[in-house]
């Protein structure tokens, strides 16, 4: 009885949420003519593109902000667009760029491209498995992943890239210069300039010709704390999905962790505050050589430990961080229970797990032997059924939420999770 009551309450909330969204769409209908005048002309005739148009209020706010800062030279309200976007627009204007100018997606000189590839070998190698997983996560969203170095030059790309579309092909070529100076405000240039995760949609891009893109980006920091590049997820004429900012940030953390553990080291410390479980991607990771000198640390560690929040080539010994002899860390790694508490010189304490280099593979396999994840097709089927239920059977509304066409949704509805038609 209690379970049935909870189910009824949940369905009632879902119906109420849908009715509220429908009412909002009706209120926005009166402003559609104003919106359409600001959109590319083919969006008015292409049913697939118009299917995934974002809410008018969002585009109107972006358009107002662009007018204020780019034409009226006035400061727009930061609630219209993020402050990081405003700063990027201002940087572009100060470089002499103008939004109506054409954009040429140039590649750097071959010699510079080769140098960028050579210098980014560790980044590309560490990112490869993460990019593959990321591509699977976004396969049905019309987004794809791009990896650049710290100068915004593309060093790798992954995902459902339509190379027959110049808008996708030109920005995923190895050696393409996607820096702010080259193509204006994008998630790539903004993340590298602001050194923080960002989300940009349509007109938040500086140039008018790049307003077809939506993208999330996060900077990547190397084992020494310096920025080594950025991870970007981009869609073309795609539905706005700001939640991709979280996915990109999470994926960037995995790449950073892989770069840290790829450094030569004798001991790895996984760190977290007492009371939090140790063994996830949320851990601080600190690697030491046999004499206790730091060979690398991820960003979580640099936020936890005083004196580690900068970057540079100055060697740091673990004894400067924790109030105990470094030999105790190696001794702890040899015990059956390698967990311990580390006293910081500030008086705080951190939980830690000490792992010898030779034992890291075993610990990694142990952490990965969790309950098997759902098959990708099963996850997709659950998402589709949920969207259709929330839309009360209206396939067009469900397709809009999912960011796919009606035809694609009808086709997928004719399949069971196992891939066989009913």
pTM for this model (two decimals): 0.73
Q: Per residue in 13-69, pLDDT tens?
A: 455 444 444 444 444 444 334 333 433 444 333 333 333 444 568 889 899 888 888
Which range has the worst mean pLDDT, 2-6, 161-165, 167-171, 394-398? 2-6
Share of the chain above pLDDT 70, in %: 77
Q: Is the pLDDT of residue 314 over 50?
A: yes
Q: Per residue in 367-391, pLDDT tens?
A: 544 434 444 455 567 677 767 777 7
Grade residue 408 by pLDDT with cuts at 50, 70 and 90.
confident
Q: Is the pLDDT of residue 236 over 80?
A: yes
Query: Mean pLDDT: which of 15-24, 128-137, 301-310, 333-342 is highest?
Result: 128-137
Q: What is the pLDDT of residue 205?
A: 97
| Mean pLDDT estimate for the chain | 82
Give the mean pLDDT of 394-411.
Answer: 77
234 strand-pairing partners? 144, 215
Share of the chain above pLDDT 90, in %: 56
Give the 3-state secondary structure of the chain. CHHHHHHHHHHHHHHHHHHHHHHHHHHHHHHHHHHHCCCCHHHHCCHHHHHCCCCHHHHHHHHHHHHHHHHCCCCCCCCCCCHHHHHHHHHHHHCCCCCCCCCCCCECCHHHHHHHHHHCHHHHHHHHHHHHHHHHHCCCCCEEEEEEECCCEEEEEEECCCCCCHHHHCCCCCCEECCHHHHCCCHHHHHHHHCCCEEEEHHHCCCHHHCCEEEEEEEEECCCCCEEEEEEEEEECCCCCCCHHHHHHHHHHHHHHHHHHCCCCCEEEEEECCCCCCCCCCCEEEEECCCCEEEEECHHHHHHCCCCCCCCCCCCEHHHCECCCCHHHHHHHCCCCCEEEEEECCCCEEEEEEEEHHHHHHHHHHHHCCCCCCCHHHHHHHHHHHHHHHCCCCHHHHHHHHCCCHHHHHHHHCCCCCCCCC
Q: Per residue in 171-196, pLDDT tens?
A: 999 999 999 999 999 999 999 999 99
Q: Per residue in 317-364, pLDDT tens?
A: 999 999 999 999 999 999 988 889 999 999 999 999 999 998 887 666
Grade residue 310 by pLDDT with cuts at 50, 70 and 90.
low
Q: What is the pLDDT of residue 69?
A: 86
Q: What is the pLDDT of residue 163?
A: 94
Q: What is the pLDDT of residue 212?
A: 96
Q: What is the pLDDT of residue 349?
A: 95
Say how far apart CA 217 and CA 196 lie, in whole Å. Answer: 8
């Amino acid at each position: 009885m209690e379970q049935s009551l909870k189910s009824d309450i949940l369905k009632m909330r879902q119906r109420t949420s849908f009715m509220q969204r429908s009412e909002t769409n009706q209120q926005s209908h009166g402003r559609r003519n104003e919106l359409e005048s600001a959109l590319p002309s083919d969006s008015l005739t292409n049913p697939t593109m118009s299917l995934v148009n974002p809410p008018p209020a969002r585009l109107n706010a972006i358009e107002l902000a662009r007018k204020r800062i780019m034409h009226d030279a006035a400061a727009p309200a930061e609630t219209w667009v993020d402050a990081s976007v405003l700063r990027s627009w201002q940087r572009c204007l100060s470089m002499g760029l103008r939004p109506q100018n054409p954009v040429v997606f140039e590649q750097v000189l071959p010699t510079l491209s080769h140098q960028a590839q050579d210098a980014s070998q560790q980044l590309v190698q560490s990112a490869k498995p993460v990019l593959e997983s990321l591509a699977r996560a976004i396969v049905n969203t019309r987004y794809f992943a791009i990896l650049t170095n710290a100068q915004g030059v593309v060093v790798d790309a992954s995902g459902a890239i339509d190379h027959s579309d110049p808008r996708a092909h030109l920005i995923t070529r190895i050696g393409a210069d996607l820096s702010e100076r080259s193509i204006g405000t994008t998630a790539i240039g903004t993340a590298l300039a602001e050194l923080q995760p960002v989300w940009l949609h349509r007109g938040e891009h500086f140039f008018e010709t790049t307003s077809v893109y939506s993208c999330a980006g996060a900077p990547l920091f190397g084992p020494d704390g310096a920025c080594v590049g950025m991870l970007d997820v981009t869609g073309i004429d795609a539905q706005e999905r700001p939640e991709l900012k979280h996915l990109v940030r999470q994926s960037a953390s995995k790449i950073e962790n892989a770069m840290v553990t790829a450094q030569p080291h004798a001991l790895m410390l996984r760190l977290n505050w007492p009371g939090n479980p140790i063994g996830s991607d949320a851990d601080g990771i600190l690697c030491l050589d046999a004499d206790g000198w730091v060979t690398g640390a991820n960003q979580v560690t640099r936020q936890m430990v005083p004196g580690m929040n900068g970057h540079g080539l100055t060697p740091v010994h673990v004894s400067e961080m924790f109030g105990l002899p470094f030999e105790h860390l190696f001794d702890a790694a040899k015990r059956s229970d390698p967990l311990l508490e580390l006293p910081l010189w500030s008086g705080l304490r951190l939980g830690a797990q000490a792992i010898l280099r030779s034992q890291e593979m075993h610990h990694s396999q142990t952490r990965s032997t969790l309950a098997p994840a759902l098959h990708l097709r099963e996850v997709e089927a659950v998402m589709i059924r949920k969207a259709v239920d929330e839309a009360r059977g209206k396939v067009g509304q469900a397709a809009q939420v999912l960011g796919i066409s009606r035809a694609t949704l009808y086709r997928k509805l004719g399949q069971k999770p196992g891939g066989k038609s009913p």
